[in-house]
Structure 1
């Protein structure tokens, strides 16, 4: 669940959390671009 994921991430270092956040942003951006290209 979202809450479990948040709790697990609380123990991340600042650098680790930044890395994880940037990876997630990359996944979201790629998915959105694929959808735009597919619908384009």
Structure 2
């Protein structure tokens, strides 16, 4: 279950991970999509 706190934590982890920009963006986009889907599923 994604919450704003979970998303913030994920962003911090991604930020500290020092991954290539493309991979970092892919992970961020995936997390964002899952977060939005979770929001709609809860409505």
TM-score interval, normalised by the smaller of the two chains? 0.5 to 0.7
TM-score, normalised with respect to structure 1? 0.64
For structure 2, list consecutive stretches of 5 or more residues without a partner in the other structure: 1-8
TM-score, normalised with respect to structure 2? 0.60
Greater Rg by CA:
1
Runs ≥4 residues deviating over 4 A:
none
Residue 35 (structure 1) aligns with: 42
For structure 1, list consecutive stretches of 5 or more residues without a partner in the other structure: none
- Aligned-residue Cα RMSD (Å) equals 2.2
Count of paired positions: 33
